[in-house]
Structure 1
Amino acid sequence: MQESVKPQFDELTILYRDENYIAIDKPSGLLVHRSFLDKHETQFAMQMLRDQIGQHVFPVHRLDRPTSGVLLFALSSEAARDMNQLFIDGQIEKRYLALVRGFLNESIFLDKPLKEELDKIADKFADQNKAPQEAQTQFHCLHQASLPIPIGKYPTVRYSLVECFPKTGRKHQIRRHLKHLSLPIIGDVNHGDNQHNQFFREHFKLRRLMLFASELKFVHPYSKQPITIRAPLGDAMLTICQQLGWPTEEKDYYGNH
């Protein structure tokens, strides 16, 4: 089962650019770069951006294929090295928004180590008994909604829009931590709730993982200026927010930190 409908992507939206770095709004469903696990794919953010701006770009972090939002590249190997160091040192603040099943009623700092998720093909020779890795995420609820629609044994459906601040960068960390809190992300095929995923496709007509990399904050390694890069939720998600009784303008979903 695919996590999202396979679309064709046109020109990428550039959110930020200077002489050293460039950031795009990566669409849901677009791979960051080529992988032998996805030999049938023909579009990749890295190659598309290179062709679009006419110069090589160097990845400094990644987003899962079904996640949309801020994706940063360097414009030289040196700039990539220096930005990578900021990620390693925990000097990058990453803010995600997730639409989840259930109510998050208080801010939670979850410190739960995660065992590495291994791919049957790519990680065939990896250590299957590797100890769980440290994983920490801060969660804060922005909005809640309840709809009088019965699913399963409950007479209503409950949803929350949650701010997620990962302090570490483990594979599928936000998805797995929210599942641990019994707040699975809508549209998550591997860690979610299939009943609600199906309801969401039928009721809201949107087939994607409802996880958005909304902001990236850091002190520029060269200018030493604070940089905030933001990606919009998009019209489709804002329409859902309206149906759930939440604010309907992009500015209402920017971070205040």
Structure 2
Amino acid sequence: MDTAQPTPEEIQARVLHRDGLMLVIDKPAGIPVHRGPKGGANLEASFEALRFGLPRPPVLAHRLDRDTSGCLVLGRHRKATASLGLLFKHGKISKTYWAVVEGGPAEDEGIIDVPLGRLNHERGWWQKPDPNGLPSVTKWKVLGRASEGVQLTWLALEPVTGRTHQLRVHCAAMGWPITGDNIYGTQASLRRLRNEPYIPHFDEPSLHLHAREIAIPFSKNKPPVVVTAPAPAHLHARLKACGWNGE
């Protein structure tokens, strides 16, 4: 699912929170946050429309994968961006993701503690479980299960650490990959075993991973800023199959 470059009106409509220090926007799935080597649509190219009176556009305080939707934090000036960067670096910002996975755990909640390392140099950012890799921890909780048809489970995922592709690799390593994952999902793994290239098909779902909520403790004297992003349309059918009521 590739998304066109957002217009100024479209990117402004995606602002979930705005104050003098930061913005939280609802990132659409299917668009990278950075400009890639081959060009194309990217979220940063629309940030000029988010100045809201300040002399410079906001900048990314962290990143989300191209196919992940939801809460994305931007710093509105250099000092704020530096402060946000430290909060992210030291694990002070709590993040909750929604995912719909194939199959699912037997238990209702748990912790995945699986170190991760780079898959290989050719694959760039792709990761794999690696006993000699970096410590990587994810908390998870079942929010619902599909009662009919294909077995699906709706999970809340909380990354304690922030490794690249952590949630996607952790879910796949547990035997319940995220629906629509074209790198670590079931169909992608089968294609690699057969040495087949990845060619997306129209009947394949998009990645069912959404940055649902973020809590940012920016001020020591105030409660954290908590922001929630609505579930995107491409998640609705499978979330409803797992008992989601639309809120």
2: CA distance between counterparts of 1:89 and 1:137? 16
| Matched residue type, 1:193 | T
Residue 236 of structure 1, CA deviation: 3.9
2: CA distance between counterparts of 1:245 and 1:121? 34
1: CA distance between counterparts of 2:116 and 2:167? 11
1: CA distance between counterparts of 2:110 and 2:123? 35
Task: Determine the structure 2 residue equivalent to 1:76.
Answer: 77
Structure 2: stretches of 5+ with no match in the other structure = 191-198
Task: Determine the structure 2 residue equivalent to 1:27.
Answer: 28
Q: Report if the CA contact (8 A) 2:61-2:81 is conserved.
A: yes
* 1:86 to 1:52, Cα distance in 2 relative to 1, 3 A: closer
2: CA distance between counterparts of 1:16 and 1:119? 38
Residue 40 of structure 1, CA deviation: 3.5
Aligned residues: CA RMSD = 2.8
Q: Report if the CA contact (8 A) 1:15-1:229 is conserved.
A: yes
Task: Determine the structure 2 residue equivalent to 1:7.
Answer: 3
Task: Determine the structure 2 residue equivalent to 1:182.
Answer: 175
Residue 103 of structure 1, CA deviation: 2.5
1: CA distance between counterparts of 2:119 and 2:218? 32
Q: Which moved more, 1:232-241 or 1:59-68?
A: 232-241
Q: How many residues align?
A: 225
Residue 147 of structure 1, CA deviation: 3.1
State the TM-score, normalizing by the size of structure 1: 0.79
Task: Determine the structure 2 residue equivalent to 1:94.
Answer: 95
Q: Which moved more, 1:216-225 or 1:64-73?
A: 216-225
2: CA distance between counterparts of 1:113 and 1:101? 22
* 1:118 to 1:67, Cα distance in 2 relative to 1, 3 A: farther
* 1:18 to 1:121, Cα distance in 2 relative to 1, 3 A: same
Q: Report if the CA contact (8 A) 1:97-1:161 is conserved.
A: yes
Task: Determine the structure 2 residue equivalent to 1:111.
Answer: 113
1:63 aligns with 2:64: yes
Task: Determine the structure 2 residue equivalent to 1:246.
Answer: 243
Task: Determine the structure 2 residue equivalent to 1:45.
Answer: 43
2: CA distance between counterparts of 1:122 and 1:104? 30
SS in 2 for 1:147: coil
1: CA distance between counterparts of 2:120 and 2:22? 31
Structure 1: stretches of 5+ with no match in the other structure = 124-128, 149-156, 251-257
Q: Report if the CA contact (8 A) 2:115-2:136 is conserved.
A: yes
Residue 217 of structure 1, CA deviation: 0.6
CA distances 1:102-138 after superposition (whole Å, capped 9, x unpaired): 1223211111110134553868xxxxx9941010000
* 1:241 to 1:201, Cα distance in 2 relative to 1, 3 A: farther
Residue 77 of structure 1, CA deviation: 1.1
Task: Determine the structure 2 residue equivalent to 1:230.
Answer: 228
| Matched residue type, 1:91 | K
1: CA distance between counterparts of 2:119 and 2:26? 26
SS in 2 for 1:212: strand
2: CA distance between counterparts of 1:130 and 1:178? 17
